[in-house]
Amino acid sequence: MSVLGDILSTVLDRGVRSIPRIAARNSTTPELVRALLSGSGEISGMAIAQQIFDRYAEMDRPARLGFFRMLAIELDLDPAHVRETLDAYEATPGRETYRAYAKAAEPPRQELIRRLNQLPGGTARLVAMRRDLLGFTREHPDCAALDLDFRHLFGSWFNRGFLVLRPINWDTSAALLDKIIAYEAVHAIQNWDDLRRRLKPRDRRCFAFFHPSMPGEPLIFVEVALTRGVPGSIQALLAEDRADIAPEAADTAVFYSISNCQEGLAGISLGNSLIKQVASDLAVELPNLKTFVTLSPIPGLAAWMAETGLAKPVRGETLRQIAAHYLLDAKSAGGRPRDAVQRFHLGNGASVFRVHGDADTSEKGLAQSGGAMVNYLYDLDRITQNHEGFATAGTIAASAEVRNLASAGRSLASEKEDDEEPTL
Amino acid sequence: MSVLGDILSTVLDRGVRSIPRIAARNSTTPELVRALLSGSGEISGMAIAQQIFDRYAEMDRPARLGFFRMLAIELDLDPAHVRETLDAYEATPGRETYRAYAKAAEPPRQELIRRLNQLPGGTARLVAMRRDLLGFTREHPDCAALDLDFRHLFGSWFNRGFLVLRPINWDTSAALLDKIIAYEAVHAIQNWDDLRRRLKPRDRRCFAFFHPSMPGEPLIFVEVALTRGVPGSIQALLAEDRADIAPEAADTAVFYSISNCQEGLAGISLGNSLIKQVASDLAVELPNLKTFVTLSPIPGLAAWMAETGLAKPVRGETLRQIAAHYLLDAKSAGGRPRDAVQRFHLGNGASVFRVHGDADTSEKGLAQSGGAMVNYLYDLDRITQNHEGFATAGTIAASAEVRNLASAGRSLASEKEDDEEPTL
Amino acid sequence: MSVLGDILSTVLDRGVRSIPRIAARNSTTPELVRALLSGSGEISGMAIAQQIFDRYAEMDRPARLGFFRMLAIELDLDPAHVRETLDAYEATPGRETYRAYAKAAEPPRQELIRRLNQLPGGTARLVAMRRDLLGFTREHPDCAALDLDFRHLFGSWFNRGFLVLRPINWDTSAALLDKIIAYEAVHAIQNWDDLRRRLKPRDRRCFAFFHPSMPGEPLIFVEVALTRGVPGSIQALLAEDRADIAPEAADTAVFYSISNCQEGLAGISLGNSLIKQVASDLAVELPNLKTFVTLSPIPGLAAWMAETGLAKPVRGETLRQIAAHYLLDAKSAGGRPRDAVQRFHLGNGASVFRVHGDADTSEKGLAQSGGAMVNYLYDLDRITQNHEGFATAGTIAASAEVRNLASAGRSLASEKEDDEEPTL
Amino acid sequence: MSVLGDILSTVLDRGVRSIPRIAARNSTTPELVRALLSGSGEISGMAIAQQIFDRYAEMDRPARLGFFRMLAIELDLDPAHVRETLDAYEATPGRETYRAYAKAAEPPRQELIRRLNQLPGGTARLVAMRRDLLGFTREHPDCAALDLDFRHLFGSWFNRGFLVLRPINWDTSAALLDKIIAYEAVHAIQNWDDLRRRLKPRDRRCFAFFHPSMPGEPLIFVEVALTRGVPGSIQALLAEDRADIAPEAADTAVFYSISNCQEGLAGISLGNSLIKQVASDLAVELPNLKTFVTLSPIPGLAAWMAETGLAKPVRGETLRQIAAHYLLDAKSAGGRPRDAVQRFHLGNGASVFRVHGDADTSEKGLAQSGGAMVNYLYDLDRITQNHEGFATAGTIAASAEVRNLASAGRSLASEKEDDEEPTL
């Protein structure tokens, strides 16, 4: 890798030295952007791309916003030209008319991003660039279309077919493990001893997706515990003094944490492939595994209980009933399940399998859900059906047990409402 | 690789088993195509993609044409919808209007190709599919736009930043060397002994570009000889009994053969990066190398001589003069140099350096150019300038020696014309 | 590897420059040998070792003999010193007396060989050196003890625990495959097409043992065919136009060729581990494999038939009977089976399983055995027993079929003798 | 590796099942030892070796002593047989007489150790076994000869030519880094942050020797700091808040810690090769490096000062003088330098370069040497000379500065003695 880097900097040094017309050092960034778009020589293109990335790296936040706006506005679509070429293609469909249309229909920003990507290491820099861009899109809607262009190209480049699944374990390099510690988003990894407990025991697994052009950067990873039976407590699962079991003795694989690593890839679907791939992989390696579940937080439960006036300190069975009711019945404005974690797993084809109280007794767990957690079940034989049912009809697949709990929960909630009515 | 394959087929088997609504075996191919486009679940998507590829593999040539036409027509643009969404975006630029436009502006074929690419191994299958498609586009212009869609996506996926340069040598696997033998397009490799002569000696090199998702398939490769001085004969360069030299003693690197391996990647620029990357790479490894040249055929010379009435058997100095004249002056209808090999190297920023007679005395060499060959010079400090000059003004960079030869060649040609005039 | 080489030559250059007392260039080889034995510094040791190897490389055959004799004589045991230290150890067993004895009991040649082995790459050079030495031992018995010293050390260094088993297939480098072609000793590999037929089909395997310090050099390799049923013809097994089968459909693994690669390792047992390891390996990979056999030549059969007056052209059943008789009954002067191939397999624990006529119809096969071949059976559950029986009592394990054939063969032979008696 | 392991256990399981005559479970350990020595079949040998290792693993300390004594006594030399075969060899030198002598001259223990080493993984188990043995040799001198046999074989197996040098850095696996933390013997590594400070910065390096048959176990490693100038304080060198420098800007490489990892390899020289190899390696990679030094403790200084009555709290210049005097003049009973660290580096060809006070202000540093440390210089052009001078004449190479300090130190010491005389 570093040899390639050396060679490249040699090329680029030469390249930059020999660009009289661009006069890189005296050019403005917009001039460099236009030069990159107009040129077709790859070597000078690489030199310009390097210049643009280097300048970007030195920009402060306002300058970066200016850069994005320049791309958003100057490299936007030309609607008149789109219409003109579209008319011509419609009139005379053919190679040349289609080529002209296709070129016009896409804003030049997309070609710019592709040309920046020529530079070895460019992909990672573009992902970091979009991370910055996402920090602006809410307040600066004129950058939204640019973001969609990034997303469109990333969707094509980070296609499942290009991703590589790799195990993360105690034979993984410290440099990569540093990143796992940094990126864990669900149950924070305190230190190397904590990490060792999650990666080294024979009944623990971790897998990540990588892209070949960013080999040192995990994109998303999932942590797995192999257990006997479906666990109902994250603290028990991660206990320091627990006894490990032989992998062959496990009947259940528990996906207890899944973390996206690259903010710049927001909106690019990676997680659903990951869980399914890992489940299939483990099913082959360990034929005794029969059940594939998550042990997931219910992040919005407490807030919803407060909103609906159920915020009395509830525990045990009652909490389980209310949590099940929330999961099966609470909807967002758009009519979809209110809980984002749940939407993710239902969208993958999972079903709501079990609900537990006293399952996450950490401060965070108690605050967000009164300690309740949920298992989503990945039944490899039913995920397609579940997915289709959820995608087309909004059907939430759930076990009988959970449906019964939810039914009880509904009664509690309506009693509550009944109780409250007199106060009107 | 094969473990992944095993796992995958497991996934797919399960996937296929569990798709009641698609009823894969009873669905028509267009139904599968629509199902792939409408679904968003990746696992079922993979199962459908597999089905489509498998069916395609079994189609005969007319069926394949039918398949491509179906894609070309049914998954074409909807111009009315493009206009509508474009109007809306123009009226109210914003995230949602742009998203709608971007979706409409691109024919659904492109999304189909991206979804087929989800399948591990899909990229190679798509490249093979386009190879077939290219066999139809001349006679069936209604497939041209579909081909441009493939080309557009391949341009993005086979971006320089995603390619990996690897040496090919005697430590390379036999499986890969089989492909080098098969793909060599310029000076055919007769057998393994011939291959050994090109790869094993210390003064020979070979490099190829690979794409991470097609690791066993070279995309393009270049064969290099390290020499003292610029060679003027391909037979001498490849002689069985030549004495090799220490790489450190060489002052010249000769790119004597460059071969594209994937017909399905026609039109995707790979060669210019390759030569420049290899030249830069060798310049770092062997600082004594001062000159980077090709030893290239002049494939159209004999035909052009026949056309212009110069087809008397010429040899030696006269042939060199005529060849130089051809290279500097013969133009195609579009005004560009007539010689395709020359166009490639000039487009890369090379210059016409030397012209040789008796340089390729093989049957093919004598037939196509009377045995003449040419060195194109890659001067790393001038390639950007040369490229720009050629791209913008059509300027052909050439050495004084070649310009002088061409001048003499022009005189010969006009004498010839003078000689011929009386016959009018 | 080459980086290591570079570094090393740097070290060695410096080392050699800085050895004033040794004055390497002016020293005789015996002086260098003594310097290597007396010094304890590894760096100067490496420099001297390099010198000795370099000088050896330039010696002609008589000079090499001189070198070996010098080692044999000057670095031989000092019997008086052995006795003295042995007496001391016997009188006062202890650390120091044992150390003194152990040093005296071993000729200094062994320490010299160990010190030559310090040099990276030294092992391969020592193996080559012993190959030369073996060319002298018959005529120069004074070198025999030196050869036993080499053999003793090689036995320790090429211990089974240090060897690495690797598959050889079409993904193997051309450089290594060149060696497979060169070293194949049983059924010569004609060319790369022949090699491809033995390595590439899915029902063919090849495995070799390597030593970590000679990573590019196979030590011994075995070629395997996966078949349905036990084959009785090598020509059928290697036919160009045969149809391959799925490995999972095979019930038999046939070890049809086993070749030692390093003459310098003669007498170091490698083959028995190899066959058993490969058999066990394949049994795990392909559980359908039930039978592990060789298809082996009977190299001494024709000569023995000539000796015993049975040299009439026999074919078919008669040949099989005589071959079985030969295998079960013909003994060398020492009372062991006359056939060396058979001794090897019986010593490994194999049994004589089947005998075939018309099995090797090549010129060589007809000449050495009238075309007869034999299957030796490796029954993993019985090899220990067979081995012990053969090693302790000379018992030849054989199938009932072969015993019956041999019995018929004995009758033929005695009839023959009866027939011949009148001529007395 | 684990595949190999799987296969092997399969082989061994079969092997063990099929050894009726050995009746492994009913055999005593001495019977197994004899069986391993008498058998020649490798598969059954492996099964027996496995049995012996497994039994050993379950033995308590007294049982292990019993095991070692059994090897020491039952498998000792037979002096009468040595004499007999030696007489025969002397009378008739030749292949057979030498073979008989060589077999007799070596105690059967050595062959036993070699046969235990057949088992994959056997080498590491034997190294661990010797570690245990070393715990007995002081109190049980009858085990000393056995230890010398282990050492003799390990010297041959861990020959420099078989070792592999590998960098240890932040790309190294956590599993291996765990071992670096555990084995660091000079300046303890507190935790992963401390480790990161030693391995990750661009101006830090670490290298270890490995043996191919123990790929997960470092044998010895050295930690290196790249600095400008020769450092005189270990705390400054390892400070948390120090600024790193570009490797190219460094002129000095400091070997500040070297740790043996395998107690079972005690007495096998590894360290001298390591330092010299790393120095040569770094000299090639970073040509600006001109000086290669250690920053070493002086572990016996305080004890010696106490013995010689110099134990008043001394600091600064006086301490440096006394330390230099100690290093150049203090001798052990055998007349060699008293300081073991110094003996190691002088034996490698280093010289005493600089002496520092206040150089190790840790509790341990103050306690053992009043805070003094020393730089030993590795001048690649002089190490052979220095080594030879030290090895043959006991000459201690030292810089003029150190010699002057020592001279002053001698005066201090004799003044002290003068002061003390009156008390007589």
Residues of B in contact with A343 (CB under 8 A): none
Touching, D vs A (3+ Cβ pairs under 8 A)? yes
DSSP state of D216: T
Residue in B closest to C191 by C-alpha: B192
Interface A:B, Cβ pairs < 8 A: 223
Report the pLDDT value the prediction gives residue C4, as an integer from 0 to 100: 30
Query: Does the beta-carbon distance from C173 to B175 stay under 8 Å?
Result: no
Residue that the structure tokens 């594209």 belong to: B260
Is the CB of residue B3 less than 8 Å away from at least one CB of chain C? no
Residues of A in contact with D200 (CB under 8 A): 175
Query: Does the beta-carbon distance from C171 to B172 stay under 8 Å?
Result: no
Q: What is the 3-state secondary structure (H, E, C) of B181-245?
A: HHHCCCCCCCCHHHHHHHHCCCCEEEEEEECCCCCCCCCEEEEEEEECCCCCCHHHHCCCCCCCC
Query: Does the beta-carbon distance from A173 to D172 stay under 8 Å?
Result: yes
Lowest mean pLDDT across B236-240, B383-387, D170-174, D318-322: B383-387
Residue that the structure tokens 């011994």 belong to: C220
Report the pLDDT value the prediction gives residue B309, as an integer from 0 to 100: 80
Q: Which of residues 165-224 of B touch C (CB under 8 A)?
A: 170-175, 177-178, 191-192, 195-196, 199-200
Neighbours of A176 (CB within 10 A): 20
Please give the Cα distance from D328 to D337 (Å, whole number): 8
Residue in B closest to A103 by C-alpha: B152
Is the CB of residue A121 less than 8 Å away from at least one CB of chain B? yes
Of A14, A102, A164, the CB nearest to B380: A14
What interface predicted TM-score (ipTM) does this complex get? Answer: 0.85
b (16+ CB within 10 A) / e for C238-261: beeeeeeeebeebebbbbbbbbbb
DSSP state of A398: B
3-class state of residue A145 by DSSP: helix
Query: Does the beta-carbon distance from C18 to D283 stay under 8 Å?
Result: no
Report the pLDDT value the prediction gives residue A414, as an integer from 0 to 100: 81
pLDDT > 90 fraction of chain B, expressed in percent and rounded: 70
Find the mean pLDDT for residues B348-365.
93
Grade residue B16 by pLDDT with cuts at 50, 70 and 90. Answer: very low
Touching, D vs B (3+ Cβ pairs under 8 A)? no
Of C172, C192, C199, the CB nearest to B192: C192
Residues of B in contact with A90 (CB under 8 A): 79
Average pLDDT, chain A: 88
Query: Does the beta-carbon distance from A192 to D196 stay under 8 Å?
Result: no
pLDDT tens readout for residues A265-298: 998 988 878 998 899 899 999 999 999 999 999 9
Is the CB of residue A411 less than 8 Å away from at least one CB of chain B? no
pLDDT tens readout for residues C61-84: 999 999 999 999 999 999 999 999
b (16+ CB within 10 A) / e for C197-232: bbbebebbbbbbbbbebbeebbbbbbbbbbbeebbb
pLDDT tens readout for residues C341-386: 999 899 888 999 999 999 999 999 999 999 999 999 999 888 888 9
Q: Are A305 and A339 in contact (CB under 8 A)?
A: no
Report the pLDDT value the prediction gives residue C263, as an integer from 0 to 100: 94
Residue in C closest to D90 by C-alpha: C79
Minimum distance, in Å, between the CA of residue C384 and any CA atom of chain D: 6
Is the CB of residue C420 less than 8 Å away from at least one CB of chain D? no
Which residue positions in chain A have pLDDT lower than 50?
1-23, 423-424
Report the pLDDT value the prediction gives residue C41, as an integer from 0 to 100: 54
Is the CB of residue A421 less than 8 Å away from at least one CB of chain D? no
Minimum distance, in Å, between the CA of residue A192 and any CA atom of chain D: 7
Residues of A in contact with D248 (CB under 8 A): none
Query: Does the beta-carbon distance from D284 to C7 stay under 8 Å?
Result: yes
DSSP state of C214: S
Please give the Cα distance from D329 to D332 (Å, whole number): 10
Q: Which of residues 281-310 of A touch B (CB under 8 A)?
A: 281, 283-284
Report the pLDDT value the prediction gives residue D16, as an integer from 0 to 100: 34
pLDDT tens readout for residues B279-328: 989 999 999 999 999 999 999 899 999 888 876 667 788 999 999 999 99
DSSP state of C232: -
Report the pLDDT value the prediction gives residue C17, as an integer from 0 to 100: 34
Chain D neighbors (3+ CB pairs < 8 Å): A, C
Residue A168, both tokens: 């993360």
Residues in chain D: 424
Is the CB of residue A88 less than 8 Å away from at least one CB of chain B? no
Average pLDDT, chain C: 88
Minimum distance, in Å, between the CA of residue B156 and any CA atom of chain A: 7
Backbone angles phi, psi at A258, to 5 degrees: -135, 125
| pTM for the full predicted model | 0.88
Of D173, D199, D200, the CB nearest to A172: D173
Residues of A in contact with D173 (CB under 8 A): 170-174
Find the mean pLDDT for residues B75-102.
95
Lowest mean pLDDT across B361-370, C84-93, C266-275, D393-402: C266-275
Report the pLDDT value the prediction gives residue D419, as an integer from 0 to 100: 61
Minimum distance, in Å, between the CA of residue C325 and any CA atom of chain B: 44
C394 CB-side CA count, 13 A = 11
Residues of C in contact with D114 (CB under 8 A): 155-156, 159
Lowest mean pLDDT across C24-38, C169-183, C316-330, C348-362: C24-38
Minimum distance, in Å, between the CA of residue A239 and any CA atom of chain D: 21
Report the pLDDT value the prediction gives residue B272, as an integer from 0 to 100: 77
Please give the Cα distance from D325 to D355 (Å, whole number): 10
Q: CA A325, A327, A332, A335 torsion: positive or negative?
A: negative
Query: Does the beta-carbon distance from B175 to C177 stay under 8 Å?
Result: no
Interface A:D, Cβ pairs < 8 A: 37
Give Dmax over CA atoms of chain B in angstroms: 84
Query: Does the beta-carbon distance from C173 to B170 stay under 8 Å?
Result: yes
Please give the Cα distance from A131 to D286 (Å, whole number): 38
- Per-residue pLDDT in tens (0 to 9) along chain D, 424 residues: 233 333 333 333 333 333 333 445 678 999 999 989 987 555 578 889 999 999 999 999 999 999 999 999 999 999 999 999 999 999 999 999 999 999 999 999 999 999 999 898 999 999 999 999 999 999 999 999 999 999 999 999 999 889 999 999 999 999 999 999 999 888 888 889 999 999 999 999 999 999 999 989 999 999 999 999 999 999 999 999 999 999 999 999 999 999 999 999 998 988 878 998 899 899 999 999 999 999 999 998 999 998 888 766 677 889 999 999 999 999 988 889 999 899 989 988 899 999 999 999 999 999 999 999 999 999 988 888 898 889 888 999 999 999 999 999 998 888 766 665 544 4
Minimum distance, in Å, between the CA of residue B342 and any CA atom of chain A: 16
